[in-house]
Amino acid sequence: MQGREALIDLQHVGKIYRMGEVEVAALCDIFLTVEEGEFVAIMGASGSGKSTLMNILGCLDRPTSGRYLLAGRDVSQLSRNELAEIRNRLLGFVFQSFNLLPRTSAVDNVGLPLQYAGVSPHERRQRAADALRRVGLSDHLRHYPNQMSGGQQQRVAIARALVTQPKLILADEPTGNLDSRTSIEIMALLQELWRCGMTVLMVTHEFDIAAYASRQLVMKDSTKVTIFPKGNCCVSLSAMLQAQVWCCFAAKWRLLVRQTPGRNLQRTVPPHRSGPVRINTPPHLLLPASVSPSPPAQLPQRR
């Protein structure tokens, strides 16, 4: 493990939604390990289970089967109150639509999670101001959301996610409501936080946004396959073609692994590791990916 520990460890995780007599299997037998200091992007078609997975990872929902170990603790069967306590202590959330309180200043929006944690007003304001400084908004402490651009509002939301000093930031389509230029700024900020040691897990459907992460996963029909780790160039048409080839391959491959109990589709590519890659997949199920772990040397250019 070279000093890194698994922050997220999903084992055999499944989620079935029941609506009367109808059952929807949103997640099937998911294995996922995310180590501290990784930046993981989860992609996939609509309905493939991304939000369900994020809800479970974010302790907003519980799996119907399997185990979820978060920072070494099994959280799969905790009560709602216990999950809320874990969320407040370990996790920071960033949403597509920012989710800021409209009639509340930036500094008070950012201080809100600290209020839930019982922190005094004075310390709250100080820590919120520090978090806003960290995202480049020290001049906007007293601004209201409607006095800020979309990118600035998302920065406030990221400051709010940071203010409790979480172990993990979960971002669901963080650039979904932003134009291309602002998306680059927000992704650069998330990447900077990752470079400073934060673990980030993000859902996106855009290849060039996923390219900022150190590892990309694709959800397919309620399961997950790992695609190529990104190089230092931008994800271009060839990468998209490569992903499509992967998906075709994965479809065939799943036919093979479906009959294999205890399968593990996950391979781990820590961002800064230069040595051999640890592969959890049984040797007979290995994906033929060439893995070249390296942190992004430069920001990908958007087309």
Ligand X SMILES: Nc1ncnc2c1ncn2[C@@H]1O[C@H](COP(=O)(O)OP(=O)(O)O)[C@@H](O)[C@H]1O
Provide the binding-site residues for ligand X, judged by CB under 6 A: 17, 19, 24, 26, 44, 46-52
The stretch among 43-51, 141-149, 189-197, 244-252 that binds Mg ion (CB under 5 A) is 43-51
Does 199 contact Mg ion by CB under 5 A? no
Q: Return the C-alpha torsion angle 141, 144, 146, 151, nearest 10.
A: 30
Residue 127 binding target from Mg ion, ligand X, none, CB below 5 to 8 Å by type: none
Using CA atoms, how far apart are residues 50 and 25, in angstroms rounded to an integer? 13
Does 52 contact Mg ion by CB under 5 A? no
CB atoms within 10 A of CB 259: 7
Q: Would you say 57 or 107 has its CB closer to Mg ion?
A: 57
Q: Would you say 17 or 116 has its CB closer to Mg ion?
A: 17
Least Cβ distance, residue 265 to Mg ion (angstroms)? 20
Residue 52 binding target from Mg ion, ligand X, none, CB below 5 to 8 Å by type: ligand X
Instruction: Choose among 43, 46, 44, 54: nearest CA to 15.
Output: 54
Q: Would you say 17 or 116 has its CB closer to ligand X?
A: 17
CA distances from 95 to 84, 215, 221, 259 (A): 18, 20, 24, 37
Does 51 contact Mg ion by CB under 5 A? yes
Least Cβ distance, residue 19 to ligand X (angstroms)? 6
DSSP per position, 93-138: EE-TT----TTS-HHHHHHHHHHHTT--HHHHHHHHHHHHHHTT-G
Instruction: Choose among 143, 208, 210: nearest CA to 171.
Output: 210
Q: Would you say 47 or 121 has its CB closer to ligand X?
A: 47
Residue 273 binding target from Mg ion, ligand X, none, CB below 5 to 8 Å by type: none
Answer yes or no: are the C-beta atoms of 140 and 148 closer than 8 Å: yes
Least Cβ distance, residue 50 to Mg ion (angstroms)? 5
Least Cβ distance, residue 45 to ligand X (angstroms)? 7
Residue 131 phi/psi, 5-degree rounding, is -65, -40
- Looking at the DSSP bridge assignments, the partners of residue 169 are 92, 200
Q: How many CA atoms lie within 13 A of 172 on its CB side?
A: 17
Answer yes or no: are the C-beta atoms of 192 and 180 closer than 8 Å: no
Using CA atoms, how far apart are residues 153 and 189, in angstroms rounded to an integer? 13
Q: Would you say 18 or 122 has its CB closer to ligand X?
A: 18
AA letter at 11? Q
Query: Mask 53-92, x = binds Mg ion (CB under 5 A)?
Result: ----------------------------------------
Least Cβ distance, residue 146 to ligand X (angstroms)? 29
Q: Would you say 95 or 144 has its CB closer to Mg ion?
A: 95
Q: Would you say 28 or 235 has its CB closer to ligand X?
A: 28
Least Cβ distance, residue 17 to ligand X (angstroms)? 3
Least Cβ distance, residue 224 to ligand X (angstroms)? 11
- Chain positions contacting Mg ion, by CB under 5 A: 51
